[in-house]
Structure 1
Amino acid sequence: MKTILLHVFEDCGFESRLQVGLDIARCHSAHLTCVQPTTQFAPMSFGPLGGDFVTGINFEDMNVAERAHREKIENRLKSEDVSWDWQTGLGDPATLLTERSRLADLAILSQSFGKRNAGDEPLPIAGDVAVHAHCAVLVVPIETNSFDCDAPIVVAWNGSAEAAKALRLALPILKMANTVHLVTVGEEGEGFPHSAASIYLARHGVSTVLHELKGKGKEASHIIAEFATEQKASALVMGAYGHSRLRETLFGGVTKNLLNDADIPLLMGH
C-alpha cells in the first residue's frame, strides 16, 4: 500500500476522506495523491448563430471555489507528515479517478446518502469507481473521522470472483489488522468456501477467524454490517456487485444496501 488516491471535492464528506487517507498513508508510509476533477473549460460558442450560450452555471465562480479549496488543503498538507502531490483533470469524476487508479493501490471516496438529501452531499460515484477501478476502493461514511490500521477487519466472503479480488487487493491492510474475521452468510458456494480463502490468507501471513452467520430472517447486508459493528472493525472488505448492477438497482442487494447505509468504511474490489 504505497500509492493512495484521494477524491478531492468540497462536499460534507471530504474531511472524513482526508483524515482516513492521512491515517492510512502514515500507517503504510504511503504517498497520497489528491485527485481534483475540475470544471475549467476553454471558451466555446454554442449559440445557433455563433452567439454566447446562456446557462445558469457560473463556471468562473466554480473555478475560483476550486482554486480556493485547493489552496486551503495544500496548506494543510504541508504540515502533515506524509508525502503528497496534487493532480487535476477534466471530465467525469468517476472516469477520472478510474483512469488515475491504474498505478495506485487504493482510492478513497465517500459514501453517498442514498435517499437522504443534503446540498453538499458527496457525489454518488463510489459504485461506479468500485466496479471499474484498477485498485482497491475504500468508501468512507461521512461520520468516520479516523482509520485505525491495528483494529479488526471483517471480510465478507461468498466465493465469488469479486470477493476474491477484494480480498487480494486488501492484503496490505489485512496484514496490519490485529484480527481478521472471515464471514459467510447462509450457504457457501461449493467452489471456494471460506476455508479456502483462509488458507490463501495464511500463506500471506494473515491469520483468520472463521464465522458462518445465520440469516435469522434478516438481509445479508444487515447481518454483515451488524457483525462488523459488534467486532469494532475498522473496515468491511467485500466484492462489489456480485450480481449485475441492473439487478441490484431494481431489486436491491448487498452492495447497494451497504454503499448507502454502512456505518464503517467499505473496502471493495470487482
Structure 2
Amino acid sequence: MSYRDIMVHLTLDPRNAERTRFAIGLARRFNARVSGLYTVPPPNVPYYMGEYIPTELIQKQMDEAQKASVAAREAFLATCSDAGIEHRWLASDLAPVEALRVMSRASDLVIVGQPDPSPADPATIPYGTDVLPQELALQAGRPVMTLPHTGPMAEAGRRILVAWNGKREAARAVHDALPLLRGAETVHLVTVAPEKKGRTPMAEIVELLERHGVKLEGAIVDGGAQKVGAALLSEAKARNADLMVMGAFGHSRLREMVFGGVTETVLGSLDLPVLLSN
C-alpha cells in the first residue's frame, strides 16, 4: 500500500500556498499525484440586510469569487509545475465538506487546514471550513490530514505519535497511515490509561506494526487529571513528534459541546499535523 493520489483542499484562503507545498512534499515521498480541489465560496450576505439582497452585491461577490478561483488555479498549477510533480486541478461550488466527501473517495489521502481556533472576526473563516476536518473525517471514508493554523509547516512524518485505544477507529487510522509509519524514523504508540481496568492490550498491534517493518516505541501514559486529547498533545510535544495519527471519534454536536471529545480537543489545540481516520 502507498499513496498514489493526494488531494489538497484550497479555497479563498491565504494559506493555500502552504498546503500546496506540504502536499508536494508528501507527493515526492510517495511518487504521487497532487489533486488540488478548490471550493468556490458562495456570496456572503450580511445578516443585517435581512431578506433584501441587492442583485449588484450578489454579482460583485460572484465576480470576486471567480477572480480568486482563477488566481488560485494559476498559483497551484505554477507551483506544481515548478516542482515537477504530476498534478490536476478540480473545482466545485458545493460546500467544502460535501465536495471533499464526494471527490476525495478517488484519492488516497486528503489534506485540509485547521480553522483559526480563535479568529478576531469569525466572518474571516473561509466558508464551510469551520467544521471541515472533523466532519470530513467522519464522512469521507479516506484518511484526512489536518494542518495546524499556525505555520509555516515543514514536511511531517519522520517522528510519529499514534494514539491507540484498541477501538475500530484507531485500527483504521493505523492501517491508513501505514505508508507513513513504514517510512518514519520513530513511531511512538501511545495509550492513555483509563480510570477503569480492562483496556485492550498493545501486544497485538505492536506485533503487527513490527511485521510491517515499523520502528516502534510503545508507552502507556497516565494522563492524570488531563483529558485524553490534552494528554496526547502533551505526549506529542514531549516526544518531539511531527505528526499524530488517531481515530476520529464522532458524537452528536450537542454531546461534543457539553462534554468535549478527544477529536475536538486535539483539533482545537493542535500544533502539529494530525491524520484522522474513521
TM-score (norm 2): 0.85
User: In structure 1, how many angstroms separate the alpha carbons of the residues matched to 2:71 and 2:148?
Assistant: 25
SS at match of 2:215: coil
Pick the aligned partner of 2:20 from 1, 14, 18: 18
Post-superposition shift, 1:16?
2.8
- The answer (yes or no) to whether the contact 2:24–2:80 under 8 Å persists in 1 is no
Task: Tell me what 2:228 maps to.
Answer: 220
Question: Hey, which of these two has a bigger chunk of helix by percent?
Answer: 2
CA distances 1:52-86 after superposition (whole Å, capped 9, x unpaired) = 97474321221122112211222222111211111
SS at match of 2:82: coil
Q: 2:266 aligns with which of 240, 258, 261?
A: 258
Is residue 139 of structure 2 the alignment partner of residue 132 of structure 1?
Answer: yes
Give the fraction of aligned pairs with identical amino acids, expressed as a percent: 30
Contact 1:101 1:135 in 2 (8 A): yes
Q: Quick check: 2:104–2:140 contact (8 Å CA) kept in 1?
A: yes
Distance in structure 1 (CA, Å) of the matches to 2:33 and 2:225: 44
The answer to whether residue 201 in structure 2 is matched with residue 193 in structure 1 is yes
Over the aligned positions, Cα root-mean-square deviation in angstroms equals 2.3
- 1:89 partner letter: S
**Number of residue pairs the alignment of both structures matches:** 259
**Residues 106-121 of structure 1 mapped to structure 2, 5 A cutoff:** 106-118=109-121, 120-121=124-125
Question: Residues 95 and 80 (structure 1 numbering): CA distance in 2 closer, same or farther, change over 3 Å?
Answer: same
Task: State the Cα deviation string for residues 79-133 of structure 1 (Å, max 9, x = none).
Answer: 1121111111231111111111212110000011234335644522111111111
- How far does the alpha carbon of each residue in 1:146-188 deviate from its partner, in whole angstroms, 9 at most, with x for none? 2144x21000011111111111100111111011100011138
Tell me how far apart the structure 2 counterparts of residues 144 and 225 of structure 1 sit (CA, whole Å): 19
| Matching residue's letter, 1:155 | V
Aligned to 1:35: 37
Does the aligned pair in 1 maintain the 2:113–2:147 contact within 8 Å?
A: yes
Q: Which runs of 5+ in 2 are unaligned?
A: 44-52
Equivalent in 65, 70, 93 of residue 68 of structure 2: 65
8 A contact 1:148–1:234 mirrored in 2 = yes
Q: 1:76 aligns with which of 75, 79, 90?
A: 79
Is contact 2:100–2:136 with CA below 8 Å preserved after alignment?
yes
Listed one character per residue, the Cα deviations across residues 7-44 of structure 1 (whole Å, up to 9, x for unaligned) are: 01131432331221111111111110001123589xxx
Query: Structure 1, residues 167-213: CA drift from partner, whole Å, max 9, x if none?
Result: 11001111110111000111388474222221221222223211011
Q: CA deviation at 1:249?
A: 2.9
1:170 matches 2:173: no
Give the partner amino acid of 1:222: A
Q: What does residue 46 of structure 1 align with? A: none
TM-score under structure 1 length normalisation: 0.87
Instruction: Report the counterpart of residue 248 of structure 1 in structure 2.
Output: 256
Q: 1:207 to 1:189 in 2, by over 3 A?
A: farther
Equivalent of 1:101 in 88, 101, 104: 104
Of 210, 222, 232 in structure 1, the residue corresponding to residue 218 of structure 2 is: 210
User: 2:119 is aligned with what amino acid?
Assistant: R
Using a 3 Å threshold, how does the CA distance of structure 1 residues 189 and 18 change in structure 2: closer, same or farther?
farther
Verify: 1:155 aligned to 2:173, yes or no: no
